Amino acid sequence: MKFGDLVVSVASIAVIFALIASPLELVLFSAVGISDMTNWGYVVSLMVCLFLSALISGYIFAGKIWEARREAITKIAVLYAALLMLVVVIVPASNADWGQSVKDEFLAKYPGTTLSTSEWVTWNFMFLDLFMFIMVGITLVLSLIGLYIGSMLRKPKKS
């Protein structure tokens, strides 16, 4: 599989993810319900979207993937995880409540604690690193599985 094919495959995963994420988030968020655990609807929909977008892309690019199966699937999954890692790093900048939610979670766990501004910045970075680690790990696992199953659904014809 050529590098250009890898890039197109990853781009297609990202586009498919963008197209299915919003409807699935609305459905699954509503299904789980709004309570103290409102994040679970989003987490479940995120995982389903990551898997389905990789599955569909694996099906679409099955012919190219079958040329060098393990290597191609691994390269696509790693490149997609790297793309998602960049998106995850941008999340705090695009969400004004990110820092406040991190602060609220910290203060709920350690009430009465006071931190300096630089300590809050460090804590935010550590929280972001943990978020990035979890997202990259989930993306790698679900992409590898989705690409493998998707490529299995459409086996190339023998000539």
Q: Phi then psi for 33, rounded to 5 degrees?
A: 95, 160
Q: What is the pLDDT of residue 142?
A: 95
Q: What is the pLDDT of residue 8?
A: 93
Label residue 36 by pLDDT band (50, 70, 90).
very low
Question: What are the pLDDT digits (tens) for 10-23?
Answer: 999 999 999 998 88
CA dihedral 148, 82, 84, 9 (to 10 degrees): -50
Q: What is the pLDDT of residue 100?
A: 85
Question: What are the pLDDT digits (tens) for 71-88?
Answer: 999 999 999 999 999 988
Give 24's contacts (C-beta < 8 A, 6+ positions apart).
45, 48, 49, 52
Question: What are the pLDDT digits (tens) for 102-158?
Answer: 888 888 888 888 888 898 889 888 888 998 999 999 999 999 999 999 999 987 676
